[in-house]
């Protein structure tokens, strides 16, 4: 994760050069973001991420070689410390669920305006989740269907619920630790148990499932930091 006085280092992966050029232009204009490399396919994206170790990878879903979903799975399997933001034109539920289950930190549509995408990159860099409001509503609606709600979820402890509530508000692990007077490593341990109990692969998926099961209130609007 980049220091406050350093630019957020980003690798951009999309198989259309014109799209990459446009995204790069508004990411680097008037924001603390530097695109350090560009990839035109999934395999090149993985190679460049290994080489440059960026703070955030911005990935399209459909790319030659490996899809954005496969790239995400590869990076998470290797435990690469990189925030992953999916930037795509696809808003179909199977894509959304596959991306979140693979471990992406955010999912934003290419129809979002420039500032929304910049803010999504910044949020992912800070360890927060970034979901396009349209995607969040669609996912929550899908998860809320009776057949999608699991009845055999192991109960969360009071501390795990506290951690999940703060994660839902957009707090980073460090901020959660400060709020609860525990270490970052302890927060990570609680999150790992939460993911396991809620059968989730990412913070975003755990939050959405927590909302669905009524464990925490809905958080579809901008995070509350009060």
Query: Are 104 and 52 in the same domain?
Result: yes
Euclidean distance between CA atoms 183 and 173, whole angstroms:
9
**Burial bucket for residue 88 (CB in 10 Å: 0-12, 13-18, 19+):** buried
Q: How do the pLDDT tens digits run along the chain, 226 residues long?
A: 444 578 999 999 999 999 999 999 989 887 799 999 999 999 999 999 999 999 999 999 989 888 998 999 999 988 888 999 999 888 777 778 788 888 898 899 988 888 999 999 999 998 888 887 777 776 666 555 544 444 567 889 999 999 998 988 878 889 999 999 999 999 999 999 998 888 887 887 888 778 777 788 765 444 343 3
Predicted local distance difference test score (pLDDT) of residue 141: 63
Q: Which of 132, 155, 171 is the last residue of a domain?
A: 132
- Taking the mean position of all CA atoms in its chain, how far away is CA 58? 10
Euclidean distance between CA atoms 86 and 16, whole angstroms:
15
Euclidean distance between CA atoms 200 and 150, whole angstroms:
12
pTM: 0.65
Euclidean distance between CA atoms 50 and 45, whole angstroms:
9
**Does residue 154 lie in a domain region?**
yes
Q: Which of 132, 157, 189 is the last residue of a domain?
A: 132
Predicted local distance difference test score (pLDDT) of residue 213: 75
**Does residue 220 lie in a domain region?**
no
Euclidean distance between CA atoms 13 and 85, whole angstroms:
10
Encode pLDDT of 140-155 as tens digits: 665 555 444 445 678 8
Euclidean distance between CA atoms 19 and 16, whole angstroms:
5
Supply the CATH number for residue 173's domain: 1.10.10.10
**Does residue 219 lie in a domain region?**
no
**Does residue 98 lie in a domain region?**
yes
Given a contact cutoff of 8 angstroms between Cβ atoms, the answer to whether 86 and 107 are in contact is yes
Name residues whose C-beta falls within 8 Å of residue 224's C-beta, 6 or more positions apart in sequence. Answer: 169, 170
**Does residue 224 lie in a domain region?**
no
**Does residue 123 lie in a domain region?**
yes
Domain that holds residue 27: 8-132
Given a contact cutoff of 8 angstroms between Cβ atoms, the answer to whether 12 and 22 are in contact is no
Predicted local distance difference test score (pLDDT) of residue 226: 35
Name residues whose C-beta falls within 8 Å of residue 76's C-beta, 6 or more positions apart in sequence. Answer: 102, 103, 201
Encode pLDDT of 171-188 as tens digits: 888 999 999 999 999 999
Euclidean distance between CA atoms 102 and 104, whole angstroms:
6
Predicted local distance difference test score (pLDDT) of residue 223: 39
Supply the CATH number for residue 80's domain: 3.40.50.2300
């Amino acid at each position: 994760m980049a220091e406050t006085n350093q630019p957020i280092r980003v690798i951009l992966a999309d198989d259309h050069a014109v799209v990459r050029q446009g995204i790069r232009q508004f990411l680097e204009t008037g924001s603390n973001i530097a695109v350090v490399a560009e990839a035109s396919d999934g395999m090149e994206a993985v190679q460049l991420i290994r080489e440059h170790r960026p703070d955030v990878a911005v990935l399209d879903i459909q790319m030659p070689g490996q899809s954005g979903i496969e790239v995400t799975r590869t990076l998470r399997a290797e435990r690469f410390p990189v925030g992953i933001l999916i930037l795509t034109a696809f808003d179909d539920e199977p894509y959304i669920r596959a991306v979140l289950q693979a471990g992406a930190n955010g999912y934003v549509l290419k129809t979002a305006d420039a500032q929304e995408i910049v803010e999504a990159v910044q949020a992912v860099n800070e360890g927060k989740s970034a979901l396009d409001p349209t995607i969040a509503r669609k996912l929550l609606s899908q998860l809320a269907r009776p057949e999608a709600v699991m009845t055999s979820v192991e109960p969360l402890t009071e501390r795990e619920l506290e951690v999940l509530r703060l994660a839902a508000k957009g707090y980073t692990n460090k901020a959660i630790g400060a709020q609860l007077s525990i270490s970052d490593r302890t927060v990570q341990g609680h999150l790992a148990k939460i993911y396991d109990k809620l059968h989730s692969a990412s913070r975003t998926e755990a939050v959405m499932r927590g909302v669905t099961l009524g464990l925490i209130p809905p958080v579809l609007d901008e995070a509350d930091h009060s």
